[in-house]
Amino acid sequence: MDPENEDIPQYEHIYQNEFSYRKHKKQKEEDIAICECKFDFSDPDSACGERCLNVLTSTECTPGYCPCGVYCKNQVNAVLLMTTLFKTEGRGWGLLAAENLKAGQFIIEYCGEVISWKEAKRRSQAYENHGLKDAYIISLNASESIDATKKGSLARFINHSCQPNCETRKWTVLGEIRVGIFAKQDILIGSELAYDYNFEWYGGAKVRCLCGAPNCSGFLGAKSRGFQSENFPAKFIDRRIPIYGKTMMIDFKEIAGQVPDKGVSKEAFKEGQNYPKRAVSQVTRGQQIGSMLTVPFQSFWVRQSEVAKLSAFFPGMAEDEPATKLLKAVDSNSENDANIKTEPSITVDVSVKSEQQLESTVDPVPMEGVVVTAVKTESSEEINLYSQDAQQAFSQKNAMISRIRTHILSVGGELKNEAACQLASVYDEIRPAIEEHERDSQDSVATSVAEKWIEASCSKLRIEFDFHSSILKNIVCSTGKAYEQVKPSELEEGGNDTNEVKLLEY
Ligand SMILES: C[S@@+](CC[C@H](N)C(=O)[O-])C[C@H]1O[C@@H](n2cnc3c(N)ncnc32)[C@H](O)[C@@H]1O
């Protein structure tokens, strides 16, 4: 045997799902969904293309019933695409495209044993206890899963990526839901196939993600609710606004627990998830943990809901379209205004991704790990009217205002996290009941749990409301004062104490 292939995993290859715990559904003739397409030779798309009712409802046309007959294009099984198994570095086996693939093309079905959600949980635990490091269970619907551990198709070898070129899609064939892997974009022959697992986490061990994507969320399944409530290292969960630029100040206090004495290891860096790999090599060995480090970086992620906060720093920044503004970072640890760095030495660009890219399943995490205090650097007309000294005083005031904002973001963010955590844990109590009943409602839970749920939801909403109104109040007060009420003469005379911005009650 080729030594390269010695450790090819043992599993039974199957071409369609197996049903052991229940019978395959038998579809009655009257339940068969028949589309209204009419095949027209001059328009090949007329045969069950984008406009086909079945395509629109992710239902495969049933052979013998589709009006387009053999021309029907909505029969996914008819296609067989070439893929090749290969050994990756650190991620076990993977699957390569053995031909060029077009965006949207069906590649392969994820086949395995269809089992109940409870059985999936039990098996997942058992596999883990047996030391199986690869997980092959994916969720099929609220009450069932597909386990491809012992029996499966080649799709079981497709690895996860946080920047995937494939995606899973569910569609119904003869009344049964099936999971297909589809190309998300054009894929060149020889490229590794990968999709975002984002599957329900069964409480298993955390698996470090080695996908290498700049937006890597750090762990497999890190976006799943189960993962977050079990492991909830809130500060390590993705932040979704990428900030591109040259250098910025990073306060490593947040990850100090994981960081060894000497410098920031690659591992520790990965714990932080959001710090791009490129920066790792740039961090000086022996750098004191908790001190401010200046590292080159490529992107830094904050959540969708953080956009609102950042908008406060960059007025006019659209929430759903890319924008670029300049920021100047200052040392937010400094308690003394005189020590605030006003040199524009640390400049970063900020761009905001699209709504879809910003989408996040959990609530926001404060940016406390990376304390960047933003100050507008674009010179406004008013400021230019003032003398050099006045401008300096202004930037000091601005820096102070910014520090206060950062403080609010940080303190408020902590509270919001606690509330989100509490809500997630209550949801976990409710989830089995919901999923057992195959519907997303809280009807089937005990009144006491429902009450807890309502209380946690209200508390989260209240905190979010306070949080945002606090930011708004501070911005309105501070900018109002800074730009309208402070006269240059006051600043030149040594400052106006009433210009101090008070931290509003949070
Ligand atoms: C469905 S299997 C994929 C095939 C697997 N590589 C194999 O050799 O059979 C999922 C497992 O592959 C590994 N894996 C997949 N994507 C990974 C990634 N991005 N980083 C690290 N491990 C990964 C993990 O062990 C995961 O539990």
Question: How high is the pLDDT of residue 20?
Answer: 83
Asked if residue 81 lies in contact with residue 109, where contact means CB atoms within 8 angstroms, the answer is: no
Helix (H, G, I), strand (E, B) or coil at 170: strand
Question: How high is the pLDDT of residue 448?
Answer: 65
Q: Which atom of ligand 1 is nearest to the CA of 134?
A: 27
CB of 128 sitting under 6 A from ligand 1 = no
Question: How high is the pLDDT of residue 73?
Answer: 84
CB of 157 sitting under 6 A from ligand 1 = yes
Question: How high is the pLDDT of residue 111?
Answer: 93
Q: Which ipTM value was assigned to this complex?
A: 0.99
Asked if residue 201 lies in contact with residue 120, where contact means CB atoms within 8 angstroms, the answer is: no
CA 486, chain centre distance (Å):
43
Helix (H, G, I), strand (E, B) or coil at 377: coil
* CA–CA dist 220, 92 (Å, integer): 14
CB of 133 sitting under 6 A from ligand 1 = yes
Question: How high is the pLDDT of residue 100?
Answer: 92
Question: How high is the pLDDT of residue 151?
Answer: 95
Question: How high is the pLDDT of residue 473?
Answer: 66
Asked if residue 99 lies in contact with residue 137, where contact means CB atoms within 8 angstroms, the answer is: no
Helix (H, G, I), strand (E, B) or coil at 139: strand
CB of 134 sitting under 6 A from ligand 1 = yes
Maximum C-alpha span of the chain: 89
Question: How high is the pLDDT of residue 318?
Answer: 30
Query: Which residue in 207, 192, 249, 201 sits closest to 226, CA to CA?
Result: 201
Q: Which atom of ligand 1 is nearest to the CA of 162?
A: 19
Both tokens of 92, joined, read 């076990």
pLDDT in tens, 61-114: 988 899 998 888 887 654 566 788 889 988 999 999 988 999 988 888 899 999
Question: How high is the pLDDT of residue 255?
Answer: 32
Contacts 24+ apart (CB under 8 A), 478-486: 478/401, 478/404, 478/405, 479/401, 482/394, 482/397, 482/398, 482/401, 483/380, 483/382, 486/394, 486/397
Q: What is the pTM of this model?
A: 0.49
CB of 91 sitting under 6 A from ligand 1 = yes
Segment-wise mean pLDDT, segments of 10 residues, the chain, 506 residues: 59 90 83 89 82 85 90 70 84 91 89 91 88 87 89 93 90 87 93 82 67 84 54 31 27 31 36 35 31 29 38 33 27 30 26 29 29 30 41 53 55 63 66 52 56 73 73 58 44 37 33
Question: How high is the pLDDT of residue 81?
Answer: 66
Question: How high is the pLDDT of residue 199?
Answer: 58
Question: How high is the pLDDT of residue 17?
Answer: 93
- Other CB atoms within 10 A of residue 349 CB: 14
Question: How high is the pLDDT of residue 93?
Answer: 92
Question: How high is the pLDDT of residue 267?
Answer: 43
User: 194 CA to middle of ligand 1, Å?
Assistant: 10
Question: How high is the pLDDT of residue 95?
Answer: 93
